[in-house]
Amino acid sequence: MRGQQQIITPVLLTGILIAIIGSVYLWGAPLIEKNRDMALLRDAEDFVLSMNERIKMVANTQGRDAIRVQLPILVKFNEGNNELTFELTTKGSIYSVGRIYFVRNESEIATWGRDDPALVYVDVGELDGAYFHRYTLRYRQLNAPTKAYMIKLVGKSAQVGRGHWIYVEYKGVEEGGNLVKTLIEVRLE
C-alpha cells in the first residue's frame, strides 16, 4: 500500500502542475498577444508621424532621405490622392473603430503658419475578429493671405512591405496661379 502512495503522489503533483501551467498559458497567451499588438500599433503610429517629419524636412532643406520599412505593414503610394497609406491587421486595437485624426485641423484646406501641411489619420475597422488599420499621410493646401502652398508627392504609384525602402527627394517648385507646390518624389523599392 505504501508503494502505491509513493507512485500516486508524484503523478498527482505532475497532473496539478500541468493543469496550472495550462491555465496560465490559456490566460497569458492572449495578454501577451494583446501587448504585442499594442506595441506594433504604437510603432506604426510613430513610423507614420516620423515619415511626415522626414518629408517636411526634405521639402524645407531641398534634400533627400531613405526610410527602411521595418514593421510588418503594407506601404502604398497614391500620387493621385497625394498620399501614402500604411496598412496592417492585428487581433486587438488601441483605437476605437472609425477614423481618428492626429492633427488639430481635420480640413482638406488649412491655414499657413497655423496648421500642419499633412492630414494624418487612421481608419480602423473590425473584420472577422481582427482589426484592420489604415494610416493615411496626405498633404493638403495651406492658404496664406496672398498665396497658397502645398507639398505635392510625385512618382509612380506603388506598394511595398517590410524590408523595403521608401525614398523621398526634393524635385523643385511648381507655381500655378497663386498655388506654390513643393514637389517631392516618392519611390517605393
- Is residue 74 within 8 A of residue 87, CB to CB? The reply is yes
DSSP code string of 87-149: EEEESS-SS-SEEEESSS---SEEETTTS-SEEEEEEEEEETTEEEEEEEEEE-EEE-SS-EE
DSSP-derived 3-state class of residue 79: coil
- pLDDT tops 70 at residue 24: no
What are the backbone dihedrals phi and psi of residue 185, each rounded to the nearest 5 degrees, phi first?
Answer: -80, 135
Over residues 58-99, the pLDDT tens digits come to 999 999 999 999 999 999 999 999 999 999 999 989 999 999
How confident is the model over 107-144, as pLDDT tens digits?
A: 888 999 899 999 999 999 998 889 999 999 999 999 99
CA of residue 90 relative to chain centroid, distance: 12
